[in-house]
Structure 1
């Protein structure tokens, strides 16, 4: 098990560096390492004899310890997503952002649902999960492109940034419902209890006060960081006993802690823990879920999801931002900027795989298509955005949002 973790971390970080140098998302490199791990199972011997000693070289990627590290990576990803949400920035373009995020989620979800039922013959539950996978937006690629063009603080840039936050929250609520376990009555009770507790915590600022007291009381090195990670795990546990996905609890833990004054003291340390160990292992694990044995029986209808999701996210985002008051030209730019997907889509796809909702074969194929969408959208969006801004002066592009 130590060999697998060592190789995963070292190779993932080497690939991170190579992809960053090429201005590509490092996540893709980590996923490719996971795919290579899968391939190695077919080409590497179990042991190599060296100096009359047998060294095991076969990679045991399905080991429970590897899965544990990957599961922690999922929790940290959602925890950090919650921590980095800035409600103040949302107020600057609140209506446009909410409509953009809401319409993007609705159109993409509806298309995924209908495609699953009518093209793939899925059950309603399977189709709902399929639609949910592609609702989340990752605007890292878009943000980098807008920064290069010096228009991140323009109306389009701010709407994209804040709409992605609305997207995340709506996506998490959908995940909470579709990946919940238990009977309907039990699930309804669990959801009510969970969100009632969240409401009480929010209304009375309990987590903010708790963080202040913890900061005053704990003076050991990184003590506040450990305390915050403990809260994340506690929230995830509470979500799971409420028959809700643990990632929902982790997300809301991050959301509450992110609104506290202590956020700036801990966020860099949490990122160091998450991105140096757990999150890379999660993305390597995602890569290992791509089963190359299934290529011969691959359902090529699934490939239609790539243009379908791209169109759904672009059309939904464009309609929402136009309804929010943007000009048609800018609304289309926002729609394109909302098309990339990354971490959260892969998290939902891997959780669906682990829940065996689609079965092992179809689950692996859906993860493969999701990875393909991540790669294609992250490469296509910069070119499309630059084309849509072609010929415009920077002064026109950098207009700030007025309220």
Structure 2
């Protein structure tokens, strides 16, 4: 029952922080992220990232991405699929090359430097989705490109992580856990996206229609949550982020007559409990251990973590035909790092590639880049003339 007190504290503080952030003219998510840093191990140490907080945070990101899918336009996503792939690819190449080279120059071994580059090739679009929703930009071509690039980025991240694990094994370095072969992982992901097509086309409409005939309160909302959680679970099984599965579940349900009803039912529940816990959990990952030993490394890598995604993804968008303003929006929308970066860093730490000091530095850089991302995204969105949703 002690967790109820923790949950109450989180909800009170994030509500006040979100209100304060909005009054200052910055995205509310910034206030929630800062609360996580303040009450976590980095400052006051009132709340730790235990299993219950992690569980609520996992549900929070799943609900957030489901809502993002509900507000997305599948035709628009398909229209900007090619730019999204170009943005994701260039946004992976830049961090791997630049951050890997700088890490090598800093004194890391070539393998360690390559691993650091892979860590920062990942993107967590869930933070950007919250800001895009807040400023009603999910239905724009820039929003569609960011979401599509996030999906492609997740797949590339899985491939890079599998290759790094294979490289470590070839060097005689053991990694924790069992890791399936890359070919099997890719086959599973192809099957997942094939199933996603069936879900959008036939399964979701049938299940939602069936749920309306059930004599049960909120049966339509319950069925949508079954689809959302089931897709998140399947995505996790095939090595993708559960958030990607939830996003496609939202798209599938959005193509039924229940879209508005579900948005009205699910969004208040997510914003009232789970989504604030997710944002706080990001801050709870931060620790100031070994900060003094790696201060300049942290500063340099944080700057590069932001610039490599901004320039890499922005350049990819520019090559795809976007103007400079739209390219900047897309670049800033891809800055936040997330689960794949944390997982990759953890694997490197467990394999002995990084000591405690280096590992703490990498985690701190991931959190700092995630906190800075919404601050960069908001002013670029203000410069963007938001177009109506395209068909």
- What's the CA shift for 1:228? 1.8
Q: Is the 8 A contact 1:111 1:131 kept in 2?
A: no
1:319 aligns with 2:301: no
- Give me the whole-angstrom Cα distance separating, in 1, the residues matched to 2:49 and 2:390: 52
For residue 258 of structure 1, what is the aligned residue in structure 2? 254
For residue 65 of structure 2, what is the aligned residue in structure 1? 78
**1:210 counterpart (191, 206, 212):** 206
TM-score for both structures, normalised by structure 1: 0.73
Unaligned runs of 5+ in 2: 163-176
**2:120 counterpart (118, 127, 130):** 130
Map 1:357-396; keep pairs closer than 5 Å: 361-380=357-376
- Give me the whole-angstrom Cα distance separating, in 2, the residues matched to 1:104 and 1:165: 13
**2:37 counterpart (35, 38, 43):** 35
Map 1:179-190; keep pairs closer than 5 Å: 182-185=178-181, 188-190=183-185
**1:270 counterpart (266, 285, 304):** 266
**2:300 counterpart (304, 310, 315):** 304
Map 1:95-174; keep pairs closer than 5 Å: 99-100=86-87, 102-116=89-103, 119=106, 120-121=108-109, 122=112, 124-133=114-123, 138=128, 158-174=140-156
- Give me the whole-angstrom Cα distance separating, in 2, the residues matched to 1:241 and 1:61: 27
For residue 195 of structure 1, what is the aligned residue in structure 2? 190
3-state secondary structure, aligned to 2:128: coil
Q: Is the 8 A contact 2:69 2:247 kept in 1?
A: yes
Q: Is the 8 A contact 1:175 1:245 kept in 2?
A: no
1:285 aligns with 2:267: no
Q: Is the 8 A contact 1:211 1:262 kept in 2?
A: no
Q: Residues 399, 32 of structure 1: CA spacing in aligned structure 2 closer, same or farther, 3 A cutoff?
A: closer
- Give me the whole-angstrom Cα distance separating, in 1, the residues matched to 2:335 and 2:214: 33
Q: Is the 8 A contact 2:118 2:161 kept in 1?
A: no
- Give me the whole-angstrom Cα distance separating, in 1, the residues matched to 2:8 and 2:390: 50
TM-score for both structures, normalised by structure 2: 0.75
**2:326 counterpart (324, 334, 338):** 334
Which structure has the larger Rg over C-alpha atoms?
1
- Give me the whole-angstrom Cα distance separating, in 2, the residues matched to 1:382 and 1:72: 26
- Give me the whole-angstrom Cα distance separating, in 2, the residues matched to 1:73 and 1:41: 24
- What's the CA shift for 1:210? 3.0
Q: Which moved more, 1:166-175 or 1:129-138?
A: 129-138
Q: Is the 8 A contact 2:298 2:365 kept in 1?
A: yes
Map 1:12-91; keep pairs closer than 5 Å: 12-38=14-40, 59=46, 61-90=48-77
Q: Residues 293, 352 of structure 1: CA spacing in aligned structure 2 closer, same or farther, 3 A cutoff?
A: same
The one-character-per-residue Cα deviations of 1:103-152 (angstroms, maximum 9, x if unpaired) are 3454345434544555454264453232214788827668988x8xxxx8
- Give me the whole-angstrom Cα distance separating, in 1, the residues matched to 2:210 and 2:345: 38
**Cα RMSD for the two superposed structures:** 4.0
For residue 167 of structure 2, what is the aligned residue in structure 1? none
- What's the CA shift for 1:17? 1.0
Unaligned runs of 5+ in 1: 44-58, 390-396
